[in-house]
Structure 1
Amino acid sequence: MTKIYIVRHGETDWNCEGRLQGGTDTTLNVRGKRQATICRNYFEQIKCDAIFTSTLQRAMLTATIMNETLKLPLIPLKEFAERTFGAAEGMTYEERIKEYPHKEYPDQETIDQLIERIASGLQKIHDQYPNGKVLLVTHGAVIHTLFSMVENAEIFPQSARLSNGGVSTIHKQDGKWWLDKYNEIQHLLEQ
């Protein structure tokens, strides 16, 4: 059984400003780096085999900070990069609603393309660690979409906001992915 601990990357300035990041390669702010350190401490007691990460620097830096003491193989996978939102990237929520009230952003990646990409990444993880536990550092839209792909998707409310540094878990059993827990943040509150 493959078990994946999914971590949303640490906070960026664009997260604070409500800007849509998508494929724009933003980096962590001071708080985001602290969240990555807290996540690292959280995982020191959990035996994992590897860290997979999106190729975007906000996720890569989160994974790198986490791996400073975990010392696991660090494997970037483009399959877990954030969904691209085309012309809407960099816009605030208010700007997006005004310009694109139906969320039809020019040149954005389709949901079907994103699902196909995520499924490919999940298969790569499972093929490499069919009986392992791994970390995956990725992005909000990727995590939301991934949760729509699991067998028990109904336990995750689609309106739920995923916290930077929040931890969720899925596992593969009998050829199907299942959601165990989502957006655990207790470790962030205790620090």
Structure 2
Amino acid sequence: MTVVCLIRHGETEWNAVGKLQGRENIDLNKSGKQQAEKCGLYLRENRWDVIISSPLSRAKQTAKIINQYMLKPVKIIEMENFIERDYGMASGLTIEDRVKMFPNRNYTNQEPRELLKTRIITGLNIILKKHANSNVILVTHSAVINTILALISNNEIGSGKTKLFTACISSIYYDQEQWKIHKYNKIDHLQTDSQ
């Protein structure tokens, strides 16, 4: 069985003020670094074989911090398949500005949803091929995680239905020729004090 622990990156200043982040390289803020530490502490006791990260700095920083807390640090691999969705002209805008400029949510130059789905499915297939029967941590972004959840749940959860918290943990696994959801959008680990 292949297990993938999906982690949304920790908080950035743009998250804190409600700006939409696409492909911009925005670093974690102090709170985001603490969230990543709490993820690492929560996950450290389990056996992990690899960490896969989006190439964007907020995800890479989260992955590196998590790895520092592992009892046995593992290799970190960057995969473009799991980069955040490109929101085009809406990137960097607050929700208020987005509603004014794009009331129908059709953002100019946004990555098409079908392209997003295709690259994510390709990425999951690469994980199955290269990391079969492994325990994988995947540090990525809300649009990617929501797309994965929507694909697996036949749109019962995920895109348009689930607002993911920063540094939340979701878990999926591949068994008997299909992906299944174990849990999603969990933040219990963030409620504890850091060591």
Unaligned runs of 5+ in 2: none
User: Per-residue CA shift, 1:119-156, capped at 9, x if unaligned?
Assistant: 11111111112111110000011111111111565256
Alpha-carbon distance in structure 2 between the residues aligned to 1:21 and 1:157: 16
Aligned length: 191
Alpha-carbon distance in structure 2 between the residues aligned to 1:44 and 1:33: 16
2:12 is the alignment partner of 1:7 = no
Alpha-carbon distance in structure 1 between the residues aligned to 2:160 and 2:110: 20
Q: What's 2:75 paired with? A: 73
Q: How does 1:21-32 map to 2 (within 5 A)?
A: 21-32=21-32
Instruction: Work out the percentage of aligned pairs sharing the same amino acid.
Output: 39
Q: What's 1:58 paired with? A: 58
Paired residues of 2:147 and 2:158 also in contact (CA < 8 A): no
142, 147, 150: which one aligns with 2:149: 147
RMSD across aligned positions (CA):
1.4
Q: What's 1:166 paired with? A: 168
* TM-score after normalising by structure 1: 0.96
Alpha-carbon distance in structure 1 between the residues aligned to 2:160 and 2:42: 26
Alpha-carbon distance in structure 2 between the residues aligned to 1:10 and 1:132: 24
Instruction: List 4+ stretches of structure 1 deviating above 3 A.
Output: 155-158
2:158 is the alignment partner of 1:187 = no
Alpha-carbon distance in structure 2 between the residues aligned to 1:16 and 1:152: 31
* TM-score after normalising by structure 2: 0.94
Paired residues of 2:146 and 2:159 also in contact (CA < 8 A): no
27-36 vs 168-177, which moves further = 168-177
